[in-house]
Structure 1
Amino acid sequence: MNTKEKILVTALRLFAVYGYEAVSVSRIAGELGITKGALYKHYKNKRDIFNCIFEYVCQLDVERSRKSGVPEQDYSDMPEAFSHVLPKSLGDYMKAQFHYWSEDEIACNFRKMLTLEQYKSSEMSALYQKVLVSGPLEYTERLLCEMSKRQKKQLPSPHALAIEFYSPFYLLLSMSDGVERKETKEEIAKSYECYIDDFLQRHFSQKLKEERKL
């Protein structure tokens, strides 16, 4: 890990514990054993560090989207892509999301920082919603809306489906945060994967069968 990466990881770890506003550039530099001048060779200021962290998180999300076969942007940016997503692709993406947000050090600390800061800043509150709550829910609702159109049987409203589909993600993520044992965390992740499989089987079994024939 080079110095620039170490600055990001260290800063985010401090943000996750004390909050973004409470951590100064001096404290980040001191934690790393470098001078503020040395830190400024890599980043303009604390906000620059934060922006780079967010950019990194977004970049990884795009990569997971592409790998799973789901749209990498919102519906307003690429509506056509939403009409071709397969149930299995959505399931694979959500499983990958759960492992990322519960296991990756940067993701975990970014999530913890947003959780702290959402009560202190309207900007951070909006970002918290976009990244972890309303943003994923709206994205999921749009995908399920398009997938429901291709089903012959009557399904609940896309909004109701999205709440049913996404709520366990956040609940089990919180449960994973509350345990220390790796084995227990793995059990929680497995239970989430089983839930996703069960949800798709209950609501999109016909489409899943068609996918397996391809």
Structure 2
Amino acid sequence: MMSETRERILMTALRLFARDGYEAVSVSAIAGELGMTKGALYKHYKNKRDIFNSIVERMYQIDAERAEKYEVPKEKYEIQPESYKNQSVEKIMDFTIAQFFFWTEDDFASDFRKMLTLEQYRNTEMAELYSQCIVEGPVAYMEDLFRELIQKEVLKEENPRQLAVEYFAPLFLLISMYDKSGEGEDYGTILSNHVKHFIQNHVKDSGEEQE
């Protein structure tokens, strides 16, 4: 169990990384924000990189827990192909909508996403993380799910990669729109309608799967 002080350091550092960028924030700045000395901080983390690694580890842990909660695959298809073979469109729909609120309203997830967004253009490691966590990774995940649903004849015969891009693009766009306007519009409802219409259009033999 993470100590209270270690947790405070982690969350404060992430908030500063999300606001100013990882590269711009020093250990001194993190310690100063917490009202502690650098020496006291070093008792909990070896350096700034150690804090960052702990943030990434936490993100992966949360991802796995959320996948388990919504009964969708936790691992990539190459690692755990069997978990992709018995998915339903209902679970995928529920998980997609939940992900919007997770990435926009959960403090940890929102700050993690903003940190990667800021740093993707000046740090190749951050760019790769941004792609795998927020862009290319989710698209590949949906492509694997759709391919299995097509093979099971739940979805119509179509290119799963194309379907994944069409399905995921509004989620990505709505997250960006939320960042601009905050709570000014019900983007969750827009996403829910998109998901419902998408499934209705692509489920094979009427819309029974999403009823």
Name the TM-score class by shorter chain: over 0.9
How many residues align? The count is 209
Aligned partners of 2:154 and 2:204 also within 8 Å: no
Structure 1 distance, partners of 2:38, 2:202, is 55
Aligned counterpart, 1:83: 85
Distance 1:72 1:81 in 2: 8
Give 1:202's aligned residue: 201
* 2:25 maps to which of 15, 23, 26: 23
- CA gap of 1:76–1:208, structure 2 versus 1, over 3 A, is farther
**RMSD between aligned alpha carbons?**
1.8
- SS across alignment from 2:181: coil
Q: What's the CA shift string for 1:89-115, capped at 9, x where partnerless?
A: 111111111110010111111111101
Comparing 149-158 with 167-176, greater Cα deviation is found at 149-158
Distance 1:152 1:38, change over 3 A: closer
Q: Distance in 2 between matches of 1:207 and 1:62?
A: 33
2:45 aligns to what SS in structure 1?
Answer: coil
Letter in 2 for 1:104: D
CA distance in 1 between counterparts of 2:88 and 2:155 reads 17
Structure 1 residues 153 and 103: CA distance shift in structure 2, 3 A? closer
CA distance in 1, matches of 2:98, 2:80: 22
Matching of residues 1-214 of structure 1 within 5 Å: 2-151=4-153, 154-180=156-182, 182=183, 184-185=184-185, 187-204=186-203, 206=205, 209=208
CA distance in 1, matches of 2:25, 2:13: 8
Q: Which has the higher helix share?
A: 1
Cα displacement string for residues 121-143 of structure 1 (whole angstroms, at most 9, x for unaligned residues): 11111111111111111111010
Q: What's the TM-score once normalised by structure 2's chain length?
A: 0.93
Query: CA–CA distance in 2 between the matches of 1:73 and 1:140?
Result: 12
Distance 1:133 1:201 in 2: 24
Q: 1:206 to 1:9 in 2, by over 3 A?
A: farther
In 2 relative to 1, CA 98–205 (structure 1 residues): closer, same or farther, beyond 3 Å? farther
* Alpha-carbon spacing, 1:138–1:200, altered in 2? closer, same or farther (3 Å): same
Runs of 4 or more above 2 Å deviation: 152-156, 205-212
Distance 1:161 1:37, change over 3 A: same
Distance 1:103 1:199 in 2: 24
SS at match of 1:178: helix
2:196 and 2:131 mapped to 1: Cα distance?
26
Q: Is the 8 A contact 1:151 1:206 kept in 2?
A: no
Normalised TM-score (structure 1): 0.91
Partners of 1:210 and 1:94 lie apart in 2 by 16
The offset of 1:211, in angstroms, is 7.5
* Deviates most, 151-160 or 110-119: 151-160
